[in-house]
Structure 1
Amino acid sequence: MRHASNLVRDPSRVQGGDLTDLPEGAITLDLSICSNRFGPPPEAIAALADLITRQPDSLTPPPYRAQTPYLEAFARRLHTDTRHMLAGCGVTEFLAALARLLTDRRVAVITPEYTGTLEYFAYADFLSADPGVQDTPEMRFQRTREAMMAYEYVVLSNPSNPLGHYIPRNDLLRVCTHSQHRGATLIVDEEYIAFQGNGRSLAGTDLSNLVVLQSTGKANGMPGTRAGMLWTRDTHLRGDVQRLLLPWLYLLDITAATAALQDNAWLPGTLAKIKSDAQRLQQLLQGRFGARVSPADIHYRFVHLDNPYPAHRHLLNYRINTRLFSGDEAGTVPGLRLAAPSTEEEFDQVQAALETLTAGDENADHHRHSCRALRGSPTQPM
């Protein structure tokens, strides 16, 4: 068995849901992945089963028109139409394409931000809160408003990853309206907008200086599928992006994603449960970390920690995995991101770990690339 002391990668380099560096069976509660833990929807599973068992011949030719029902279902969900939309392999494909197109433009990224966005837009200016200041939604909005008056393109996630901050829809619409005369465009990654609530997306507005990105993976609990959409009224930009996309989508992915969008009953019920669970998680974390917990209304919470490694390691000893951010990379802040548990047993597991996390453990000066306490089994009884 490979022991955690032999980890190849620093935990801050490991994406959410990636357990490949940990011993098999060491984790029983993975809170590092920020998707709907109740997914996939039954309709998506049924659609895949039907495709494979009853329509196997559909796997023979390339899926030339598979994006059509997907975009139609997405348009109905967002109350817009398909004329201003593109289908792609998740938000990531669109971010990569936009980053390639805008290399010679003045671009700002409102940080902290999704690690993929930071990598693709490494040439951009990263606009962060002042050093030592814990960011807030109001501060994030202020940076966005100022950036829209100084840059050609401004990129942000809303709600934000990893802090979970949400800037109200009307505030962003006003910023876009006021900056339209100077040609500034806002690119908004709405990967987690469904967790925030209904009617929050910016897609479908009359503004031409707005690009909206969404996917069907995270909200529906199937990030293993790669399907997403770009919405913009900017015809030229939309055409430029389309020329950089793959010629078609993957049939299995798009079949599951389309079925998920067409199921209007499953998602609202699960999201209500997740938001309630996340609020309960916030209370647990605040009981241990106080004001260092970033309040939010979505499915995960972020804990600001100058050195998150000891707390991360302590939780690993209770078989709980979290997403660690070291803060060493530009555009990031140090801390832990935790998705909400979903059962009483899982909450008990988190509470037991937090109750035994001492101030000494939390502040200990441990080597940052070490999880030596984990040996494939918990050091405390479950």
Structure 2
Amino acid sequence: MTDRVTLADLPLRPELRGKSAYGAPQLTVANQLNTNENPYPPSQALVDDLVAEVARLASTLNRYPERDSVDLRQELAAYVTRQTGVTVGVDNVWAANGSNEVLQQLLQAFGGPGRRVLGFTPSYSMHPILAAGTQTGFIDVPRTGADFGIDTDAAVRAIAEQEPDIVFVTTPNNPTGGVTPVADLRRILDAGRAAGAVVIVDEAYAEFSAEPSATGLIAEYPATLVVSRTMSKAFDFAGGRLGYFVADPAFIEAVMLVRLPYHLSTLSQAAATVALRYSDETLATVDALRRERDRVVAGLTDLGYGVVPSESNFIFFAVPGETGDTHGTWRRFLDRDVLIRDVGVPGHLRMTVGLPQENDAFLAAAATIIGEHT
């Protein structure tokens, strides 16, 4: 019997050595508020419709799925048109297994060895991981101020000086919850266009925000702007793994060069299409979560916590105490059966807005924890 092989024994690419895989703690507790899921399950009507659709398609699973997901993309285009007020068609929309695969395909097409992507951090932690996986260099431009916003002047300068091939802008931003106003996006897009960069606006949480979608800017920046979105958050559909982007048709042609054959299964396409039929009732949960978000923000503020303004389904807040013991505070919440997220930003934690009773449990724990510091 040979000794167990470790990662260090494998001929791993040098730039991946010492890196950590993406992951949030998968613990079972009473109040799981750490992964930005929608806590409301799909309706029984949706479930029944999905079961019937799967039964209808089951006998066809010996065949490959429809390769380009045209029917699903038509439904997505109709939804985006209704939700944003911006008219888009099937040729403007591309779908994949979650927005992570969407972003990976874009990096495969426009990044790669010798190319670089610029991002404003703290932001979605998968951006640099996807960059590393596609051998794309990552340029880190820090967000500033107590609300972790993008300094637009600094952003424009960085794009002009660094001349990246891709720029990531996440709005609402994860993990902080703030938005980048359309006027600021225009300045970043102007800088990106001048540098010859593709600007990917990551709108995973757009349905929770009152800010207009960046899809309204595609006509002005057809060779520059891609808007990435997902059904994981607002649609109660994280387990369905369906992401998409909206852009000029040329971008769909580009990702078709790198996508895997038949990348979306028959069942994935069917499940997402069924979920889109119920978008009106599903998005009613978004309104409920917004109200709960505002209630929790008010509760945390009343308790004395520093809270970053959020237009998403999560809240980023400062931990109490002069030492800012981030992980220790995370553990104290967990000890009270409340799982939230330590995203690696010193002095801050993130909680996902849950069901009212889960939010009550979080606020009760928050009150006890801050009481220990007064």
TM class, shorter-length: 0.7 to 0.9
Q: 1:116 aligns with which of 126, 130, 135?
A: 126
Correspondence for 2:34: 32
- Inter-partner Cα distance in structure 2 for 1:204 and 1:350: 39
SS at match of 1:290: coil
- How many correspondences in the alignment? 334
User: How high is the sequence identity, in percent, across the aligned residues?
Assistant: 23
Q: Is the 2:235–2:283 Cα contact (8 Å) retained in structure 1?
A: no
In the alignment, does 2:186 pair up with 1:173? Answer: yes
- Evaluate the alpha carbon distance shift between residue 214 and residue 280 of structure 1 in structure 2; reply closer, same or farther with a 3 A threshold: same
Code of the residue aligned with 1:351 in structure 2: it is L
Correspondence for 1:83: 91
Q: Is the 2:156–2:191 Cα contact (8 Å) retained in structure 1?
A: no
Q: 106-115 or 175-184: which moved more?
A: 175-184
SS at match of 2:364: helix
Residue 39 (structure 1) shift: 3.4
Please show how residues 17-28 of structure 1 align to structure 2 within 5 Å: 18-19=25-26, 22=27, 27-28=29-30
Please show how residues 1-382 of structure 1 align to structure 2 within 5 Å: 15-16=23-24, 18-19=25-26, 22=27, 27-42=29-44, 44-65=46-67, 67-79=69-81, 80-100=88-108, 101-103=110-112, 104-122=114-132, 123-129=137-143, 133-137=145-149, 139-150=150-161, 151-152=163-164, 153-177=166-190, 179-197=192-210, 199-202=212-215, 205-206=218-219, 207-208=221-222, 209-233=224-248, 235=250, 237-248=251-262, 249-291=264-306, 293-305=307-319, 306-327=324-345, 334-343=347-356, 345-358=357-370
- Inter-partner Cα distance in structure 2 for 1:337 and 1:98: 28
Residue 44 (structure 1) shift: 4.1
- Inter-partner Cα distance in structure 2 for 1:220 and 1:46: 16
Q: List gaps (5 residues or longer) in structure 2.
A: 1-19, 82-87
- Inter-partner Cα distance in structure 2 for 1:337 and 1:273: 19
Q: Is the 2:297–2:315 Cα contact (8 Å) retained in structure 1?
A: yes
Residue 52 (structure 1) shift: 3.0
- Evaluate the alpha carbon distance shift between residue 298 and residue 156 of structure 1 in structure 2; reply closer, same or farther with a 3 A threshold: same
- Inter-partner Cα distance in structure 1 for 2:189 and 2:167: 10
- Inter-partner Cα distance in structure 2 for 1:316 and 1:233: 45
Residue 84 (structure 1) shift: 2.7
Q: Is the 2:30–2:337 Cα contact (8 Å) retained in structure 1?
A: yes
Code of the residue aligned with 2:130 in structure 1: it is Y
Q: Is the 1:44–1:257 Cα contact (8 Å) retained in structure 2?
A: no
- Evaluate the alpha carbon distance shift between residue 234 and residue 141 of structure 1 in structure 2; reply closer, same or farther with a 3 A threshold: farther
Code of the residue aligned with 1:323 in structure 2: it is R
- Evaluate the alpha carbon distance shift between residue 320 and residue 89 of structure 1 in structure 2; reply closer, same or farther with a 3 A threshold: same
Correspondence for 2:6: none
Code of the residue aligned with 1:243 in structure 2: it is L
Correspondence for 2:7: none
- Inter-partner Cα distance in structure 1 for 2:64 and 2:342: 39
Q: Is the 1:44–1:256 Cα contact (8 Å) retained in structure 2?
A: no
Residue 358 (structure 1) shift: 4.2
Correspondence for 2:84: none
Code of the residue aligned with 1:111 in structure 2: it is T
Q: Is the 2:94–2:246 Cα contact (8 Å) retained in structure 1?
A: yes
Residue 197 (structure 1) shift: 3.9
- Evaluate the alpha carbon distance shift between residue 224 and residue 110 of structure 1 in structure 2; reply closer, same or farther with a 3 A threshold: same
- Evaluate the alpha carbon distance shift between residue 170 and residue 74 of structure 1 in structure 2; reply closer, same or farther with a 3 A threshold: farther
Residue 181 (structure 1) shift: 4.2
Residue 269 (structure 1) shift: 1.5
Code of the residue aligned with 1:15 in structure 2: it is G
Residue 346 (structure 1) shift: 2.4
- Inter-partner Cα distance in structure 2 for 1:13 and 1:307: 24
- Inter-partner Cα distance in structure 1 for 2:68 and 2:115: 33
- Inter-partner Cα distance in structure 2 for 1:49 and 1:226: 17
- Inter-partner Cα distance in structure 2 for 1:315 and 1:304: 14
SS at match of 1:53: helix
C-alpha RMSD of the superposition:
2.7
Q: TM-score, normalised by structure 2?
A: 0.80
Q: Is the 2:22–2:126 Cα contact (8 Å) retained in structure 1?
A: no
Q: Is the 1:39–1:220 Cα contact (8 Å) retained in structure 2?
A: no
SS at match of 1:323: coil
Residue 334 (structure 1) shift: 4.9
Residue 30 (structure 1) shift: 0.4
Higher relative contact order (CA 8 A, sep 6+): 1
- Inter-partner Cα distance in structure 2 for 1:81 and 1:110: 31
- Evaluate the alpha carbon distance shift between residue 156 and residue 287 of structure 1 in structure 2; reply closer, same or farther with a 3 A threshold: same
